Amino acid sequence: MALMPLLPAQAAMIGNEQIVNQDLPHQTRDGLQQLFEQETAQQQLQAWGVNPDQIRSRIDSLTDAELARINQQLNDHQAGGSVLGVLLVIFIVFVITDVIGATDIFPFIHPVK
């Protein structure tokens, strides 16, 4: 052992972002699998004639770049869904204020007397 050459050790500091991003593709892949395992998704896949096992194998074969693109699109759709929810709440508030006579936004709604 005394005759073995000493090799220099290689070490470097890594940042938090590097640690977090290390497991990101695995988390995204699992989240996508869970999305397609929901009952409504399963029903829609069957209506389209898609085998759920094919979906699982295709998700497993996605590259990290493809997973990132899909994740971004899902986040965009979820954000849009919340905007639609806010718009629906605003619409309902305006209908109620029209019914009680506080506003006159919709001409087809007649206030209660």
Tens-place pLDDT, residues 58-70? 778 878 888 788 7
Tens-place pLDDT, residues 12-53? 666 655 554 554 555 677 877 887 788 877 887 788 777 778
The model carries a pTM of 0.45
SS (HEC) of the chain: CCCCCCCCCCCCCCCHHHHHHHCHHHHHHHHHHHHHHCHHHHHHHHHHCCCHHHHHHHHHCCCHHHHHHHHHHHHHHHHHHHHHHHHHHHHHHHHHHHHCCCCCCCCCCCCCC
Task: Report d(CA 49, CA 3) in Å as an integer.
Answer: 67
